[in-house]
Amino acid sequence: MKNDTELQQFLEKITAFANKTGIAYRTGDIYGGLAGFWDFGPIGVEIKNRIKDAWWTDFVRNRDDIVGYEGAIITHPKVWEASGHLSSFTDPLIFCEGKCKKKHRLDHLIEDHLNIKTEDLSLEEMGELVNQKKLLCTDCGGVLGKPITFNLMFNTQVGPVKDTSSIAYLRPENAQLIFSGFRNVIDSTRLKMPFGIAQSGIVFRNEISPRNFLFRVREYELMEFEYFTNPEKINDCPDFDTVSQINVNIYSREEQTPKFTSEYLTMNIQEAWEKKIFKNKWQAYWLAICNNWFTQKLGIDEKKLRLRQHQKEELSHYALDTWDIEYNYLFGWKELLGCANRTQFDLEQHHNLSKHKMEFSETDEKGVKRYIPYVVAEPSVGLGRILLTVLADGYQEETVRNRKRVVLKIHPRIAPFDVAVFPLQKKPQIIEIANRIFVTLREEGFTVKYDDSGSIGKRYRRHDEIGTPFCITVDFESIEDNYVTVRERDSMNQTRLRIENLIQELRNLQKKFTK
Ligand code: ATP
């Protein structure tokens, strides 16, 4: 982890970069911004949509065992009573009693300023630590008050009459919509166990201290799915062989003790399973798939990812075992994706409170069996957090022939444009060819940017910065020989290619991409 100044400088740099390139801006910027809320600009929207589309394609559209769902944002209050969020979706909060009166998230304050892990500590123990260590407000140096718990759910009033019966909540997770809609899904489909239900959508969390740019915000898009099995078959994972040789970096509970000095142990999933590091085979399977998705499909550096098991005291009220896929950000190893084993907890809660049967029926040679399905894994990840991660992972400053260039080395699959087309000059014959290439590539499904302003060098730099992986330049020779120059963003290699082969050549280059 960098020191506070270096970290601050990096965050300022990446935020300014995001602003300048049209990735993200503070919401209501002209009025000073609103903490924890961000708007996405023209480039940010493209990258975000492509990440989301990649997720939906790989985890829903291209799988036979996962279906989609889209629940309402404002949710029936009983849903949150059953799920336990009304009583347990809380974070520890402490107020500054000095000049600034700032509210701090207590666990983060202790971790960042006393360098003590808080997973095992109760609210009272954290309060005692503040007194013992004489921890003061980090903003004004004032004395800190008594810690309290704070519920993170935003609420609103539904309808014209404002009273307690009209209170409803903005969902803090998608999962509960999937659980409360479970009966409807199984009644209206012909799903066979095991299966998953996925949802991507905006959630709201009234975070005490939003920070680190897109890392901790109050409104974000969450992509998650619940994977259900028969409770007696949580280790029947027929596809396990397809992931068994995938290498992952593991940081289990045992490794999170002082005698282990390394940040993780690398092994394949088969080895980890044999060492009994995971509690159920499906959870191991999904962690391998998700880790692989980040490295192979989004191009994130595998050395900067690890699977960290939650400490017992850290587990959410619904989870039997949870693993996070963490990324090594400049502010340390932090959660990128969470994957909880939620057992039968949520469906049982809705079964009991709603009086609607949340059972699944299966017929075998012995007859009909009914059971409440078991959630072996819930891979859950914030879209903005992925965006921040690919920015942090791909942002590079390089010096090329004594000139500085900023380049965003992101996977072509999630780049804002597949390719940019530049006419070298505004000569009619050159423009005619550049236009023809532009239209043909679009018709073939490429996202293309036509760019004819400024010198070629400036155009390259503009596209390096936003991560466009390939640029095509049409020049005078193209008129004669039907060849154009294709320049690759990362290597800056330039190759002359025949116009009629461009589509195939670009597809090959996209497939070949490695970081
Ligand atoms: P934390 O303990 O850090 O507050 P959490 O463990 O409650 O977070 P989860 O419920 O596991 O978070 O959230 C699922 C995913 O949603 C996370 O892995 C992360 O990608 C994303 N996420 C969670 N909180 C935020 C936030 N405030 N801003 C942006 N993304 C978030």
Q: How far apart are CA 73 and CA 504, in angstroms?
A: 43
Beta-carbon contacts of 316 under 8 Å, excluding residues fewer than 6 positions away, are 88, 322, 340
Tokens 């017929």: give the residue: 363
What is the reported pLDDT for 42? 97
Q: What is the mean pLDDT of residues 22-26?
A: 97
Q: How far apart are CA 88 and CA 175, in angstroms?
A: 15
Helix, strand, coil: what percent of the chain each, to 5? Answer: 40, 30, 35
Is there an atom of ligand 1 within 6 Å of 207 CB? yes
Atom index in ligand 1 nearest the CA of residue 220 equals 29
Is there an atom of ligand 1 within 6 Å of 382 CB? yes
Q: Is residue 492 left, alpha or beta, with left meaning phi > 0 and alpha meaning psi from -120 to 50? A: left
* pLDDT at 361 exceeding the cut of 80: yes
DSSP for 341-382, written as a single string = E-BTHHHHHHHHHH-----EEEEETTEEEEE--EEEEEEEEE
Q: Give 116-120's long-range contacts (Cβ < 8 A, gap of 24+).
A: 119/310, 119/311, 119/313, 119/314, 120/311, 120/313, 120/314
What confidence category does residue 163 fall into, taking pLDDT thresholds of 50, 70 and 90? Answer: confident
What is the reported pLDDT for 1? 58
Tokens describing residue 72: 């309402």
Is there an atom of ligand 1 within 6 Å of 385 CB? yes
Q: What is the mean pLDDT of residues 236-245?
A: 96
End-to-end CA distance of the chain: 23
* pLDDT at 259 exceeding the cut of 90: no
- For 170-203, the pLDDT digits (tens) are 999 999 999 999 999 999 999 999 999 999 999 9
Share of the chain above pLDDT 90, in %: 82
What is the reported pLDDT for 121? 86
Query: Residue 439 C-alpha to ligand 1 middle, in angstroms?
Result: 41
Mean pLDDT of the chain: 94
* pLDDT at 17 exceeding the cut of 70: yes
- For 314-354, the pLDDT digits (tens) are 898 899 999 999 999 988 899 999 999 999 999 999 999 99
* pLDDT at 117 exceeding the cut of 90: no
Predicted structure pTM score: 0.93
Pocket residue to mutate for ligand 1, from 335, 336, 337, 383, most atoms within 8 A of Cβ: 335
- For 449-486, the pLDDT digits (tens) are 999 999 999 999 999 999 999 999 999 999 999 999 99
Closest CA to 184 of 72, 80, 69: 69
* pLDDT at 295 exceeding the cut of 70: yes
Q: How far apart are CA 342 and CA 344, in angstroms?
A: 6
Q: How far is CA 99 from the centre of its chain?
A: 37
Is there an atom of ligand 1 within 6 Å of 220 CB? yes
Cβ neighbourhood burial of 142 (10 Å; 0-12, 13-18, 19+): middle
The protein residue with its alpha carbon nearest to ligand 1, atom 22, reads: 382
Closest CA to 308 of 325, 331, 286, 329: 325
- For 382-409, the pLDDT digits (tens) are 999 999 999 999 999 999 888 899 999 9
Tokens describing residue 50: 């492509």
Query: Residue 337 C-alpha to ligand 1 middle, in angstroms?
Result: 8
The one-letter amino acid at 190? R
Tokens describing residue 233: 């078959």
Is there an atom of ligand 1 within 6 Å of 183 CB? no
Q: What is the mean pLDDT of residues 104-119?
A: 88
Cβ neighbourhood burial of 504 (10 Å; 0-12, 13-18, 19+): exposed
What is the reported pLDDT for 178? 97
* pLDDT at 34 exceeding the cut of 80: yes
Is there an atom of ligand 1 within 6 Å of 111 CB? no
Which of the two residues, 211 and 360, has the higher pLDDT score? 360
What is the reported pLDDT for 2? 62
What is the reported pLDDT for 348? 96
What is the reported pLDDT for 439? 98
Rg (CA), the chain: 26
Is 500:444 a contact under the CB 8 Å cutoff? no
Rounded to 10 degrees, the C-alpha dihedral 493/494/495/496 comes to: 180
The protein residue with its alpha carbon nearest to ligand 1, atom 9, reads: 338
The one-letter amino acid at 25? Y
Neighbours of 465 (CB within 10 A): 19
Closest CA to 240 of 209, 284, 183, 174: 284
Pocket residue to mutate for ligand 1, from 314, 327, 385, 388, most atoms within 8 A of Cβ: 385
Is there an atom of ligand 1 within 6 Å of 383 CB? no
Q: How far apart are CA 6 and CA 149, in angstroms?
A: 32
The protein residue with its alpha carbon nearest to ligand 1, atom 3, reads: 335
